[in-house]
A and B are shown apart, each in its own frame.
Chain A
């Protein structure tokens, strides 16, 4: 019993400590890089800024910001829409597929692999072994089946579709540990357990607005909804709690 209490206190401390940290960093918010949503076309990794232009990946050296210089531009297939940096890789979502680039040499992105799909709109997030893409088939986007596409990227040169979870109207998405949060317009924000990537399960769907995109950070989910910005406490992904909103 006593042992449990100690564990409980320890857990509380682990949960609370980052919160304390967050307060103390208010004054020094200058260091480091921020975090964009899954629909972003700009991404910063280290001293480089990458722009997902329509058919070009553009690379800028920002080590001296006032002297930002374009270092490189790498041709891509047409219809590039989103860019997601993860460690030494860039995941690029285009209307025709997902492209993976190595930025081990940050000034010279090298194409590692790609997987094509039917034409659609498609933001990407990823971790070491799996990447998640939502595809939305609409008259504007294209004919693909709408849903969460889970790709095995252990062999990054040849991503393999592990599972397609059909979902209506998916937009942006965010990854917290083994839970993918998918914004689905007025169909809500779905929390999907992907612990077993081959068997994703919708845990619950929040309906506090028309969800467009989400950024998980610092135990929070920052959501862009049609009426404003909505913030959830996501320290327990099984049960996220609505904290506050700021309306348009």
Chain B
């Protein structure tokens, strides 16, 4: 069963995707920009999620959609490392 926790996801957003973070709102917004400056995606995490809050398949599916990924496995691979930053942008920037 697909499962990640909030801390793992946050680390990937901050360090692999180098998101800009806006914490001023009720929830934390992460903005993903490509190296050429284009906005590629945005997603949110709840302030109420404590470290290691488990994120089930339903929530991961919503986050996957916001990150412009095509499969849950891509999201898991993004977080768990097999999917590189470069590969992420290939997927997220692809024309459908």
Whether A and B are associated in the same complex: the answer reads no
| A interface list, Cβ under 8 A from B | none
| B interface list, Cβ under 8 A from A | none
